Structure 1
């Protein structure tokens, strides 16, 4: 049976400027030198990481970094804690710093708050690379939480400063802020969510309502991918999350369906185009 699917890719999906910047930096060095170390996955998308590792990108963790000497190491868009820069000095490492400017600005603001003896709270994902870098600006003293329930067991001061990981949901951030204020806390709240990310909520709302089915393409490690997929699901119940072409199920579709493809800020356009080609074969 031929499904005769009509398939479109969302024009506003794909890499944000921070990811584009990091990948272009990596590719330039790979073209010239043949290899480059990268601290952590350059982007939370396994397919793109695999493409770049085939070109010579060597993904390392902080443990391997400690033993590295006299090499170039890429800092990805998520940014790093001050301790990483200190280690680079000690080990004579050249850091190719592709930290996103939005993240760097947030790191600086958090450092200023901490240096002013403010208690810092960060709404973010535990263990996320960006959050580790943010918490590092406070010598690990910032309180990180993923949802409000975690704060029920924390003895919070009457007054504190609230920040957010750049890829979190704006709605959720403001809900948390309002709830904490209603509990009587004196809060200095800083909406530090990247507008290139938050603007995509509305763009996705407008996109997904025009299709019978939505295929949302994202790496499973992407925080931003989870948030944006929830937006798709909210406005089009026939939305499916896939990381690779192999995860698509033909049974999701009916003949002549209009199918929309979209993705996270860490999803490469070539991968969405690969999904489109596969669907057009059905």
Structure 2
């Protein structure tokens, strides 16, 4: 089975904006009653998350729940101006989360209604976006769903035509051709969202060499339905699902060429979970899934990074490698770093702490053992306490520095060289960079479940800019540290992980969707480069 994931699958800009606005409104108004005017987007997972956060849905502006002082959020599809004014006159605070593309269409319709004899809106008459458009067009507005509807229109001197932002490109062109025969002047506006055009075009391209299409999205989503229709017209097998559980029921031959596509209202994490289910059905998926689960869910990779930083700290201070000290650091990191603890992982913490304590006693006596025990107890404190996620990232960095730099130098009773401060700066950028990248990757899920990651706390654009500047500044610092005799040449070995850390930002910008476990492993595996450089240093320089 070959699986191809559509490049343009998942949330579009307008949907992400609507969701972000909705959850920020809840965050700023924890005690107010908040309602969305219809489903904020057509996706069951998002609607369920809204419900859990106390955000209700009303389908009529005359709903008794909309009282003065309450908040009504306009969904991505927009609202008719008269309805908005009615709500505001009743003392309801209206927050507009309409997609900017929808607002652009409304602006075009408003101008066209002053000059054209007829304003044709190509789209689905039952789509919520239409209600807002018709409210602006007034008596001149008419909905055209297909070519037959266009042919039934009366002759007019001047006609202006726009399209629903998620309408079919091919159908819109056919309607325009018919309208040219209906008037003397035809004003055509290209109002189909660029994201919609790209998705529909990609389906046609994928249909050339794929025989099965997995279409992920809400059953009420117009753009998801359109994607399925296009794939079906290409005589391909189409399987529509809303969540991973539905995909488990599908029977797909192992020889299939599978394309995974999704509507603009489908969260990335739902797509990734569907891909994970799809891969699990593959004949040889057992070992692959076991490896991915192990590497993404255990602290092995950051522990190897801690080992590498410890090696670098000894070199920066002119010390030779002491393997009992390095193994102490590794097992202490195994106990105190990595993802949130679950009940099954506590035995790992206990065993790793016991081994690290024993090694600490052997290398530095009672003082070393007490140091190891003291640091190892910091992890349970953060896991048991209800600490905000962005503070957990800062706390984790402090623990990581204590394990990777302070512990080996303390056990070796080494003085601190100036280069150690450069190493500490590198550790901070690398550790927090990993936290930011994982936060960016899971931004949609975190916004919906209410998790305030470091990336969300700083803000998406600011966190990216901050990380980019930090990487560039640190790279310059490392490059100059050896010529300035601040650090040994091993400082150059810390540059490759920074390059690949920056590449992680590119992955985010490109909105590459793949197994979330693989992205986690990619980001965390950058730690492994450091002990590799440390070993290279041992065999070539020591």
- For the criterion TM > 0.5, the same-fold answer is yes
**SS where residue 187 of structure 1 aligns?**
strand
- Once residues 77 and 138 of structure 2 are traced to their aligned partners in structure 1, the CA distance between those partners, rounded to angstroms, is 18
Change (3 A) 1:170 1:132: same
2:19 corresponds in structure 1 to: 23
Offset from partner CA, 1:248-267 (integer Å, 9 cap, x none):
36553113544332101111
**SS where residue 144 of structure 1 aligns?**
strand
Displacement after TM superposition at 1:224 (Å): 1.1
Q: Which range moved further: 244-253 or 162-171?
A: 244-253
Matches within 5 A, 1:41-60: 41-60=39-58
Change (3 A) 1:162 1:56: same
Does the CA contact (< 8 Å) of 1:124 and 1:131 recur in 2?
Answer: yes
Matches within 5 A, 1:77-92: 77-92=76-91
Count of residue pairs the alignment pairs up: 278
Change (3 A) 1:148 1:209: closer
- Once residues 50 and 266 of structure 1 are traced to their aligned partners in structure 2, the CA distance between those partners, rounded to angstroms, is 14
Displacement after TM superposition at 1:20 (Å): 0.2
Change (3 A) 1:281 1:160: same
**SS where residue 264 of structure 2 aligns?**
coil
1:278 corresponds in structure 2 to: 277
Does the CA contact (< 8 Å) of 1:9 and 1:272 recur in 2?
Answer: no
2:8 corresponds in structure 1 to: 12
Offset from partner CA, 1:158-203 (integer Å, 9 cap, x none):
4321111111112211111112324565422222111121122223
- Once residues 130 and 79 of structure 1 are traced to their aligned partners in structure 2, the CA distance between those partners, rounded to angstroms, is 6
Displacement after TM superposition at 1:114 (Å): 0.9
TM-score (norm. length: structure 2): 0.48
Displacement after TM superposition at 1:102 (Å): 1.1
**SS where residue 88 of structure 2 aligns?**
helix
1:37 corresponds in structure 2 to: 35
Change (3 A) 1:191 1:181: same
User: RMSD value over aligned CA atoms?
Assistant: 2.4
- Once residues 198 and 64 of structure 2 are traced to their aligned partners in structure 1, the CA distance between those partners, rounded to angstroms, is 36
**SS where residue 191 of structure 1 aligns?**
coil
More strand by share: 1
More helix by share: 2
The runs of 5 or more residues in structure 1 that have no matched partner are none
The runs of 5 or more residues in structure 2 that have no matched partner are 282-542
Matches within 5 A, 1:105-144: 105-116=104-115, 118-144=117-143
Displacement after TM superposition at 1:133 (Å): 0.4
2:74 corresponds in structure 1 to: 75
- Once residues 174 and 164 of structure 1 are traced to their aligned partners in structure 2, the CA distance between those partners, rounded to angstroms, is 10
Does the CA contact (< 8 Å) of 1:78 and 1:129 recur in 2?
Answer: yes
Q: Radius of gyration: which is bigger?
A: 2
Change (3 A) 1:214 1:117: closer
Q: Which range moved further: 175-184 or 86-95?
A: 175-184
TM-score (norm. length: structure 1): 0.88
- Once residues 98 and 150 of structure 2 are traced to their aligned partners in structure 1, the CA distance between those partners, rounded to angstroms, is 30
